[in-house]
Structures are given as structure tokens and as C-alpha cells.
Chains A and B, each alone.
Chain A
Amino acid sequence: MNLKISALDYIQEVKTGNISAEDFVAATIERIQSVDDKLHAFLSVNDKAIDQAREIDKKIKSGQKVGDCFGMPISIKDNMCIKDSKTTCASKMLEDFVAPYDATVITELKQQDAIFIGKANMDEFAMGLTTEFSAYGPSKNPWNLDYVPGGSSGGSAVSVSAFECIASLGSDTGGSVRNPASFCSTVGYKPTYGLISRYGLISYANSIEQIGPFTRTVKDTAFMLNLIAGLDPNDNTTVDNKNEDYLSGIDVGIEGKKIGIIKEMMGEGIAPEVLSATKDAIAKLEGLGAICEEISLDMVKYSVAAYYTITATEAGSNLARYDNLRYGYDFPLEGYEFNSYISKARRKFGPEVTRRMIIGGFVPSAGHAGKYFLKALKVKSKLTKEINEAFQKFDFLIAPTVPILPFKIGEKIDDPISLFLVDINTVTANLTGKPAISIPYSISNGLPIGIQLIADSMNDKSLLQAAYALEQTVQLPEVPI
């Protein structure tokens, strides 16, 4: 069974009867069993997947209406609620938490007959860039097992890259979909803020995060967006995309489009291989008729500091509910007083989460809010103004997704600032709410490099068109696992 196909190809194969959903899913499970010991992309695997696929085959045979996914195996980052399934956020605090309801994206995919093949590994509570902060052990980069796959949605990226599933849903707060997509050579998408419902996504920084798909092709991402984007009454921050079709006209090309090269994302600290790959991509785009020019976004210099200040504050509040009283893990409360119980119970947070909680208590506190938190909000406002101005002139913005190549596991774990700066090219899209995509572009010494395109709010459709155009110029080697 060839697992190395796109979602759209899979659907064709199943529709025409060349393959059955059951056989494909069974082969997927076998693949997971053979490689995941090394990769650790999954925290849990759905043991009913093959049965579910069989049911879908029955539906297809009997001529009943079948959902658009036709039993496609999809992995879900373990911070999205699937009813009656364990949802741990890769944390010991939620070791025993079983979600009593489905996230909206899960409901939508269920209705379309997708199969959730397993829950994907991540940095604990989505705080991290390498998946090394998972309480259940890191995931490995399928291109080189000694290297990080990126994060926080590392497991998602690995599962798609290593053909353990056809697509995945991750979440992107500061680059957590685009960054691992770049490190693992898959397509990774962060939509306009509000395009995809966050109901059922366990919050880390709710004012800027979005759910985003991982796929092997840009068309597949457009397909996924068609299934899950749009207004949701369960999430007041969602926007009306008027049932936009992201797949139609995806190949219109980028003739005459103006693309801004973000100066601050191409400068100091960029790895030479990444710089040359980006220059190459720019040349290709110009070859397709786009006009590329440099642009400066001054606030990018402050974006990482603003990002971590804001997200720590929101995380400190979003994670306050984990006091182990209503759900969590087994820790009897006899003999404890309230404050001492919950302080002890919350020791189960990992060191990175603990650090962020402390920062999140500090930066918005009465004595310090003016200097840190409020300033960060103002940087966010100014950066948004700057990027809005840029979009007066340009249709898209371009930069490498990550300024450096994937690095070894353990290399940056003790250097928080250096780790922060891995995000420098991605947080801007989150802070400003703009859609952004990472397209796998090249492999350098066996390690993947992704190129990032950003568009103005609600221009997700045209962003996918530009991404498709760039993708078509690329021919990548196969993942060596």
C-alpha cells in the first residue's frame, strides 16, 4: 500500500474503488507500529481506527452519502478535545483528563468521515519550539533522528512527514505549526485569526492562537480549510468567511503580484543555507512574474519580547484552572489546606510551563504591568499598523520560516533566549492576526528549510494561490525513514 499520497489523491483512490479505507488505515497503523518507536510522534493511537474505516467502506459500497474525507487518517495535536478520549496537552497535570465534548474542528471532521488515527505529541501546553518540553518525551525529526522536529506541534509535523497519516491538525501561537512544518518539510498553515474555531482547543494564549493543518501539499491544506474554516457560534472570536472555497482557482498563479521581503527577518543571525534558499525562492517567484522588493517592519525587533510577555500573561491565566479539583490526576486532598494543596498539585507542570507561569504572574502584576505587559500590547498595536501599511503596497510578504536549520535535540534546551529567537520570523503573523504558511522548499545537508509567505487578514485564499505557485517550482527528496 502506497502511503505516500496526498489527501486529494487518497480520496480519488477510495472513490474509484482502487483502495479501501480499511486497507489504507490498516497499512497506516502498521507504519505507525514500525516507525513510531523511533519517532514518538504519537501519545496515543486510536485502536478502533480500522473498525471505523470498515464502516466507512460499508457506507461507500451501499451508495450512502459519505463525508468528503472518505476515512482519511488524520492525527490531532493532543490539545484538542475529542469526546471520551484522553486529552493531556502532553502534561502530567492532565494525565487522566478525558474530554466530555468534541472540539468544533473535531465535530466538523467527524461529520466529513475523517478518522482520528491518534493524538500527536507536543510541547507541554503548547509552550515550546522543539517538542522537547513534552512530559512524555520528545519527538524526533524523521529527516535525522538526532534533531528536533520543531514545536510545539512537533508530533503533528512528524506524523505527516513520516507518512504516519495523511494530514494533521496542530495549533500555532507563535509559529507552532509553521516552525515544525519547516523543520520536517511539510506544509504548515496558520489562518487569519478567527478563521478556524478555537472551541475545544485547550487555550495557551487565546488572543493570538489558531488551529492550523499540516499536509504534504498546498492543495491538501486548501481542502482541509474548506472543511473547518468559518463562523462558529461556540467561539465569539470567529469571523465570517462567507463559505469561501479555498481550493477553486488555487492555480491562478502570481503574475504581477507584489511581494515584500521582510528585512528584519533576513538579517543578523540567519544561517547562510537558509539565506540562500530564501534568495532562490525569491528568484523563482520573480520568474513566475511576481515583483519582489525589500520592506522594513521596524517592530519585528521587539516582536519576540512582546510575544513572550503577552503569551506568558495569558497562559498564566488560562492555566490557572488546573488546580486538580474537578479533573486532573490522582492526588488525594485529605489533610491539605486549599492553597497548599493546589500549589503542590501544580508541581506536575514541567519546568518550561513553570517558568512561563512565573513570568506570566510577574509581567502583568500591579507594579510591573506598565513596563512589560502594557508595553507589549502597544508593540502589538504598532506592529499591526506597520504590517497593515505594508499590505497597502504588497500582496504578500516573504521570509524564511525559521532563520536557522533544525538543530540537535538538547542543543538549545538550556538557552531560553536563543530558543526564543527561533520564533523571530513567525510571531509577527500571530501578533497581527495575519494568515501565514510555511512551504517546504529545500533540504540542506539532510535538513529541511521552509519558506514563509504572509498575506493580509482574510486573504487566505490568495495566500494559498501564492503558496501553490511556489510549491510547484520545487522538487524535494523523500524523507529517509
Chain B
Amino acid sequence: MTMIGLEIHCQLTNLKSKLFCSCKANYREFEINENICPICMGLPGSLPRLNQEAVKKATIIAMALNCSTPEKIAFFRKNYFYPDSPKNFQTTQLNIYGDTSVGGSGSIMVGDKKIRITRIQLEEDPGRLIYEGSSSKNQITLVDYNRAGTPLVEIVTEPDFETPKEVRDFLNILSDILTNLGVADPSLEGAMRADANVSIEGGKKVEIKNIGSFHDLEKATHFEITRQESLHSRDIEIIQETRHWDDKRKITVSSRSKEEELDYRYFLEGDIPWIKMDPEIHKKLQTQMPESISSKKERYISKYNIPAQVADVLSPDKYYSDLFEESHNDSNAKEVANIITTDLMGLVDTREKREASKFTATHLKELADSIQSGKISRNSSKNALHEILKTGKDLETVIAELDLGNVSDESELSGIITQVIQEESQAVEQAKSNPQTINYLVGKVMQKTKGKADPVLTLELLKNRLESNG
């Protein structure tokens, strides 16, 4: 039986500042070593100043994953030497003196399967190493500390995954949850990373590190399972070790074990007292939590009669569910959801496009209302949507400029219907025996009106004509 566990690191980039200092949490826009201060550089005499909001956000994540949340949390030092770590220790969380990390055991459903969370901890990201030079002779290591001290939440799961696909599904669900909570933006480069551990047939656990993306994670776990199964089938022992994912060769490789063993000499961080998290705080945070994805889905279906597949697509997408909330009312909710899922999502898909989008909640509301009232046909609404996306102009203006308004004037329509009947005598004949042919004729009317004919009225008028023409 294959067992896969995950260690996910997620940056809390929605925070304004780093975990222990007031430098910016999202380091991506800065010049090299511009987003630093004595604290995140670990200068002599500097002391950490824990970010209150980071503790709250991490606790909210723990609650969203159904984890226990202790009444006192503590920080520890993990001591090791590496150039990306200015203090040569990482301030992190552990549970060696009882439960002191921000979240204890919890669980989350992936489809029908329950995935158990072991713990959630708050810790700091190190800086970034940049290698220059091609050969190992002239290679130099450069360090950028802009990222050092960025708040991270580490989520550790039990080895409950059995297939790489389950892993992938879980990560997608987790991404959606974190985005929905407003605590992180997993789509930012490097904002969410994961390591995996894999074992088969209850054998030794192999850790896999250095996995760049979720796509790679699926590949890496798949490779590792295959590798272990191959060894197992030949009765070769699977060694407990750490391997790293070689992205070029798409394989896991044994990490040359460093001569120094990893003795982290963990002990309590003396510069940070234990933080009291009374039940009052937990209650307050609970009320401040945004609506969960599953609750939204429920509400869309039961309150607005939105079809389950539409609700399924809309509820986990924070950007669009927020847009939905702003644009809908009780009567147009279904139409709003429809426009979003059918048209908008496909057009405004990337983060850049979303950021640049001129399509507002007002646009969406007016569009939905116009379709419902028959002012504009669904076909025309798609043209209107494209135009608004391009120009940002309001709906009224677009309808006028592009002449998209429905033709609902009976006499106008009758005139066009007359034309069509004259031109399509063959179809008219066929319509007598095959009633479905009338749709072809409706289509012709639509063509002539550039899609603006009121389809319901057109069909009615056509039917009457054909009957009367006998």
C-alpha cells in the first residue's frame, strides 16, 4: 500500500510585514537586498518582534483545516548553518513541550477521502541563493535576503495519500481554501512549495525535496513510487533517505548526505514569550473568518437555484465568487453565475488579466438584468461583454454603439420574417412535415438581425405565419 505524506510551505504574502520585523512580507518588487533591516539580517543585538496578524492568520488557517488550536503557542530555534539564514538558526515551531504550534491535528476532505493534518506551524522563510558561473570552479554563491523573514505557514499531513492524483487534488483544494481565506496568494511564484515523503508496502519512508511546482510534485511522487516498486519487486531494500527532485532529468536523486548530521539542538526561543491565545480570541477569529467554499456552494444551490456544476466551479474561485457577491441580487443570481462561469472565466483567466480587467460588478449586474428583461439577447450579451472588457464603457453605451439591442418590435420582425419566408421557400415546405425546421428559420431571422431578434417572439411570430400560410 502506497503512503504519501506532504509538508507544504505557504507564504502569507497578504500580510503587510515580515514575521519578526516591519520589512515587507511580499519581497518580489524590490532590488537585491533592499527589503532588509537589522532584525531580518540577524545583526548583533537585534531582537524579533512577532507579527500579531501573522499569528491570527495562521490560526485561521488552522481552524479552516479543522485543527486543534492550543491556548498557548511558542517558538523554537532550529540551529543549522546555511548562507540563506542570517542568524544560522531558523525561528520555527515545535511540539516537544506539549502542543505549542499554532495548529494541532485536524483533517480535510478530498472528495470522499479524509486527509489528516498532523500540525500547522508558523516560521520564517530564509533568503534566496543565486548561483553564478557555469563550472564548479568559477561558481560563486550570491545571497539576497529580501525574502528572509517572510512569514510561512507549514502544513504537515499524515501519509494518507495513496496516489499522486490525490496529492494533486488536495493541493488544489488547499490552494482554493487559502485563497478564499484571504491569507495567501498561491498563484504567486514561489508562494507555495511542498515536499513529499513516500513509502510503499509499509516500508521505509523516503523524503523528496526541491520540488518546484505542484505539477512536478505529481511527477515526483509518481516517479518515486515506481522506483520503490521496482526495487521492491527485485527484493532490494529501500533505504530511508532524503532525495531531491532533479527537474532536468525528471527523476529523484539521492542527496549526497552532508557529513554533518542534522542535529538541530532545538530549544525554546528566549526572545519570544509564549503567546496566550484565550478562547475569546479563537471565538473572535472564528467570526472574522470568511465564508467557507463548501458553505458558499451550498448557498448558491439552495438559495439561488444555481445548478450544482456551476456552483462547483464558482464557489472555490475567490475572485469570481467575490464578483458574484457584489453583482447579484435574488432575481438575477442565476444569470450572474451563468455569465461568470460560461463567458467571463474563460476570457479573464490569468492573474494579469484579472488585475487589468475593466469589467466591474456594475457591468455584470446590468448585463444580467438586461438579459433577463429581454433587452438584449444572450448572443448579443457575449458581444457586449467582449466590448466592455476591451473598453470598460458602460453597458448602455456599448449597446447603443454596437446596436446590440434586441429587436422586439413586432412589425419590424414581421417584415424580416416575410423576407426569410420568401428566401427560404424550401425550408418553409419542410417545416410543414418537420416542425424542427422552424429553428433553421429562426436562425435565418437571427442572421438577418445580427442576432438581435428576440428569439421567443421570433419563434412565436414564425409559427403563427407558417400556420396561417397553411
Give the B-binding residues of A (Cβ under 8 A). 79-81, 87, 89, 94, 97, 99-101, 103, 198-203, 205-207, 233-237, 313-314, 316-317, 320-321, 323, 325-327, 338-339, 342, 361, 364-366, 369, 373
Contacts and interface: CB of A to CB of B under 8 A. Distances in A.
Given A199-B45, A366-B263, A323 B81 contact: yes
B271 A97 contact: no
A317 B79 CA distance: 7
Given A202-B45, A321-B87, A101 B81 contact: no
B265 A364 contact: yes
Interface of B: 38, 41-50, 77, 79, 81, 83, 86-89, 141, 143, 260, 263, 265-268, 270-273
A203 B45 contact: yes
Dominant secondary structure at the A interface: loop
Given A235-B47, A320-B87, A339-B81, 7 more contacts: A101-B45, A201-B45, A206-B271, A207-B268, A316-B265, A317-B89, A373-B267
B270 A207 contact: yes
Contacts, number: 96
A317 B47 contact: no
A22 B396 CA distance: 80
B389 to A, nearest CB: 48
B43 A100 contact: yes
B57 to A, nearest CB: 19
A103 B45 contact: yes
Given A100-B38, A366-B263, A321 B83 contact: no
Contacts of A79: 45
A212 to B, nearest CB: 16
B7 to A, nearest CB: 20
A206 B89 contact: no
A263 B340 CA distance: 81
A236 B48 contact: yes
A323 to B, nearest CB: 6
A201 B44 CA distance: 8
Nearest to A80: B45
B265 A361 contact: yes
B121 to A, nearest CB: 19
Contacts of B271: 203, 206, 235-237
A181 B271 CA distance: 27
Shortest Cβ-Cβ A-B pairs, 7 listed = A207-B270, A320-B88, A202-B44, A206-B270, A200-B45, A364-B265, A81-B45
B44 to A, nearest CB: 4
Contacts of B43: 99-101, 326-327
Contacts of A202: 44-45
Of B44, B49, B50, B141, which is in contact with the most chain A CB atoms at under 10 Å from its CB?
B44
User: Could you say which of A97, A200, A342 has the most chain B C-beta atoms within 10 Å of its C-beta?
Assistant: A200
The majority secondary structure among interface residues of chain B is loop
Given A101-B38, A342-B81, A323 B88 contact: yes
Contact of A94 (B44, B88, B272, B273): B44
A342 B82 CA distance: 10
A456 to B, nearest CB: 19
A206 B45 CA distance: 10
20 contacts: A89-B44, A99-B45, A202-B44, A202-B45, A203-B44, A234-B47, A236-B48, A236-B271, A314-B270, A316-B265, A317-B77, A317-B265, A320-B79, A320-B81, A323-B81, A325-B143, A339-B81, A339-B260, A364-B266, A373-B267
A103 B45 CA distance: 8
B226 to A, nearest CB: 34
A310 to B, nearest CB: 9
Nearest to B88: A320
A234 B49 contact: yes
A82 to B, nearest CB: 10
Contacts of A101: 38, 43, 45
A206 B266 CA distance: 15
B47 A236 contact: yes
Contact of A326 (B41, B268, B270): B41
A92 B48 CA distance: 26
B263 A365 contact: yes
Contacts of B265: 313, 316-317, 361, 364-366, 369
A338 to B, nearest CB: 6
A37 B38 CA distance: 35
Contacts of A81: 44-45
Contacts of A234: 47, 49
Contacts of B268: 207
B50 A236 contact: yes
A321 B49 contact: no
B52 to A, nearest CB: 11
A235 B47 CA distance: 6
Contacts of A206: 270-271
B88 A321 contact: yes
A97 B42 CA distance: 14
B75 to A, nearest CB: 10
B44 A87 contact: yes
A339 B88 CA distance: 12
A135 to B, nearest CB: 15
A207 B141 CA distance: 35
B86 A320 contact: no
Contacts of B143: 325
Nearest to B143: A325
A192 B407 CA distance: 85
A236 B44 contact: no
Contacts of B77: 317
A94 B141 CA distance: 23
A365 B141 CA distance: 30
A159 to B, nearest CB: 21
A205 B268 CA distance: 12
A333 to B, nearest CB: 9
A269 B55 CA distance: 51
A364 B267 contact: yes
A80 B273 CA distance: 22
Contacts of B45: 79-81, 87, 99, 101, 103, 199-203
B323 to A, nearest CB: 40
